[in-house]
Amino acid sequence: MLSSTSKSYRKRLHGWLSYAFASEVFVIVSLTLFLPICLEQFASDNGYLLPAKSQPCMVDGVRQDGQCAVKIGWLWIDTASFSLYTYSASVALQALTVISMGGIADHPPHRKKLLLTFAFFGSSAATLFLFLSSTSPVWYIASLLACVANVGFGASIVAMNSYLPSLAKDAPEVVAAREELEDAPDNSGSSDDAENPNAPLIAPTAERVALQLRYETELSRATSRISSLGIAIGYGAGICLLALTLIPVVKLKSSTFSLRLSIGLSGIWWAFFTLPAALWLPGASASDEATSKDWSFGHEIVAAWKRLGGMLHPREIAKLRNTFKYLAAWFLLSDGFTTITSTAVLFAKTTLQMPSEKLVIVGVLTPMAGIGGSLLWPFLQRRFGWSNLRVLITLVVLASAVPAYGCLGFLPIFHGRDKFSFGGLTSPEEIFILALYFGSIYGAFQSFARAFYAELLPPGEEARWYGLFSITDKSSSFIGPLIVGIIADTTGNIRYSFFFLVFMVWAAVPILLSVNVEQGRKDAREYRYRT
């Protein structure tokens, strides 16, 4: 048995955390903040005011009042919608990529190679923003670079997440609980049960039942703790780079170049700090290499699509009904949370007219609060004895208050006042407050969503099922930005999208409440895929 205190385990854990430190920077600095702003700025620099479409949106670097649209092909698109449509396309491509690579990530000799390959393409695409100007005749290539970077990030994270269950099982407290369970007397007469804590038990002793419960509890907490630590470390890295990028953004007065520089730096950071992960994460062993001689990428890609169809067969869904209930809730929640962040940034820039340097401060406050939230909520969980599911539901309800608060801006008491405006998200100052509030929730939500899902996975198929987790995420995450973009295009007021976001988040709550965690764990342990 591998000792959890061994050098090998520490290297694996540090390698996993180092990739969180490297990759999360792209999400915090670029995907959440600078990419939406930069893409909107690229479009504005080439856009015209509606309805005449004759006067440029930008004059001497100053944005003119009025709705701004840019012509892409034969279509005129709202500049805020251009950013949202790009994100929608990127996550759709990401979903297709994740589906194709699911089986490859489950193959030990190629899991690490897959992570590093997509990290290379993603970080390279982000870095190339340094060389693309909004005055270039091919400025719209920025949309393509954003798509490649987002696909690279999402695909590499699937490979990264597949390491999480094994890391949690080798945590000291989990190993100790497992050893006690293995040594416990079993009156069922099955020697196999004493060797395998995941084996079905027949008439187990009361002591063994208690130890089984302790083992599952420790495994659940270790998973959420490691997941939360990864989120906190990644947020810390994002804060460091955001603080650095604030200098050129302020000095260059939020110019398009300063935004491109920030995205490019996130790509360089991503690439450089992936190197420790390349050294410390486990690669292919000699036995793995021997078993992969007849293995081919093409065959695995075809098999992955076939396997996805098999996994979604009604027969398989019935076997893991609680796992799929959670995936249905995740379908709504992942889209809702990510769309809240991108919509809030675009709302602050276009409606509240906040300059980019203030949005950078918002970008710093959000992950700072995220670090606190990702560390505070596991403490609260231990203090009050809450399950991962209960914490998750609490976080979802709290997060729904953000778009609901934005909806209040339509009330006459908040909207349309000349001298003093506060309440209902009608003033820039409120963005800073909401950034702290939502950040503290979002950081914890990410870690608990990932940790809770780990409890419902069939052993030995983590990468494949985390692939489905990511597919569910990405197959939905293009819907929110797409609908918000349509709302902004149709109404000319992005605030209306807050109603849609409230509905999307709350629709997931009854689904979460229906998940039976104990039955879901049991079904996962007993699950066998039938081709």
Lowest-confidence region among 20-34, 79-93, 286-300, 469-483: 286-300
Q: What is the mean pLDDT of residues 37-51?
A: 88
pLDDT, position 266: 96
CA distance 123 to 14: 21
286 vs 135: which has the higher pLDDT: 135
Mean pLDDT of 56-78: 83
Give which of 170, 176, 171 is closest to 214, Cα–Cα. 176
Whether the pLDDT of residue 419 is over 60: the answer is: no
Percent of the chain with pLDDT over 90: 23
Say what the pLDDT of residue 170 is: 86
What's the token pair of residue 423?
Answer: 């309440």
Local structure of 56: helix, strand or coil: strand
Q: Is the pTM of this model over 0.75?
A: no
Please, which residues have CB within 8 angstroms of residue 454's CB and are 6 or more apart in sequence? Answer: 164, 165, 168, 223, 227, 462
Confidence of residue 22 (pLDDT cuts 50, 70, 90): very high
pLDDT of amino acid 2: 43
State both tokens at 157. Answer: 């994270």
Average pLDDT of span 390-394: 92
CA pair distance 143, 281, nearest whole angstrom: 32
What is the pLDDT, as a whole number, of residue 194?
45
Q: Whose structure tokens read 């007065």?
A: 253
Query: For residue range 205-217, what is the model confidence (pLDDT) as tens digits?
Result: 777 778 888 887 8
Instruction: Report pLDDT for 437.
Output: 94
Could you tell me how far CA 228 lies from the centroid of its own chain? 13
The predicted pLDDT at position 4 comes to 43
Q: Residue 51, preceding bond cis, omega within 30 degrees?
A: yes
pLDDT at 443: 81
Confidence band (pLDDT; 50, 70, 90) for 190?
very low
Average model confidence (pLDDT) for the chain? 82
Judged against a pLDDT cut of 80, whether residue 103 lies above it is answered with no
Give the pLDDT of residue 193.
46
What's the CA angle centered on 507, arms 459 and 391, to 5 degrees? 55
Contact 367, 232 (CB under 8 A): no
Query: Can you tell me the mean pLDDT for 389-416?
Result: 85
- Residue 393, pLDDT > 90, answer yes
Cα 437 to chain center, whole Å? 18
pLDDT at 428 over 80: yes
Q: Which range has highest mean pLDDT (2-11, 78-87, 155-164, 391-400)?
A: 391-400
Residues 368-384 have pLDDT tens digits of 888 888 888 888 888 88
Give me the half-sphere count of Cα atoms (radius 13 Å) on the Cβ side of residue 344: 30
By percentage, how much of the chain surpasses pLDDT 70? 86
Residue 530 is predicted with a pLDDT of: 66
Residues sharing a CB contact under 8 Å with residue 304, sequence separation 6 or more, in sequence order: 99, 100, 101, 102, 103, 104, 467
Q: Decide: 329 and 396 in contact? Cβ < 8 Å.
A: no
Q: Give the separation between CA 482 and CA 480, rounded to whole angstroms.
A: 5
pLDDT at 208: 77
Q: How does pLDDT run across 289-309, given as a tens digit for each residue? A: 555 555 666 777 787 777 777
Q: What CA–CA distance (Å, rounded) separates 207 from 92?
A: 49
| Residue 68 phi, psi (nearest 5) | -105, 135
24-38, 111-125, 279-293: least confident range: 279-293
CATH homologous superfamily for the domain 7-283+293-526: MFS general substrate transporter like domains (1.20.1250.20)
When mean pLDDT is compared across 84-93, 193-202, 413-422, the lowest value belongs to 193-202
- 3-state percent breakdown (helix, strand, coil) of the chain, nearest 5: 75, 5, 20
Residue-level pLDDT at 191: 44
Burial class (CB in 10 A: 0-12, 13-18, 19+), 15: buried
Quick check: 341 pLDDT over 80? Answer: yes
Q: How many CA atoms lie within 13 A of 187 on its CB side?
A: 7
Tokens standing for 239?
């804060």
The gap from C-alpha 76 to its chain's centroid, in whole angstroms, comes to 31
Amino acid 263: pLDDT: 95
Rounded to whole angstroms, the Cα distance separating 111 from 265 reads 27
CA distance 446 to 20: 13
What is the residue-wise DSSP string for 343-378?
Answer: HHHHHHHHTS---HHHHHHHHHHHHHHHHHHHHHHH
Can you tell me the distance from the alpha carbon of 57 to that of 30, in angstroms, rounded to the nearest whole number? 24
- Tell the residue number behind the tokens 């276009």, with chain if given: 350
Is residue 201 over pLDDT 50? no
Phi-psi region of 199 (alpha: psi -120 to 50; beta: other; left: phi over 0): beta
In this predicted structure, the answer to whether residue 64 has a pLDDT above a threshold of 60 is yes
Q: Residue 130 has what DSSP assignment?
A: G
Highest mean pLDDT among 45-49, 261-265, 343-347, 486-490: 261-265
Which helix (H) or strand (E) covers residue 76, if one does? strand 75-78
Supply the pLDDT for residue 128: 96
Q: 431 pLDDT exceeds 80?
A: yes
Reported confidence tier of residue 107, pLDDT bands at 50, 70, 90: low
Helix crossing, 108-127 with 79-105: angle to 10°?
Answer: 160
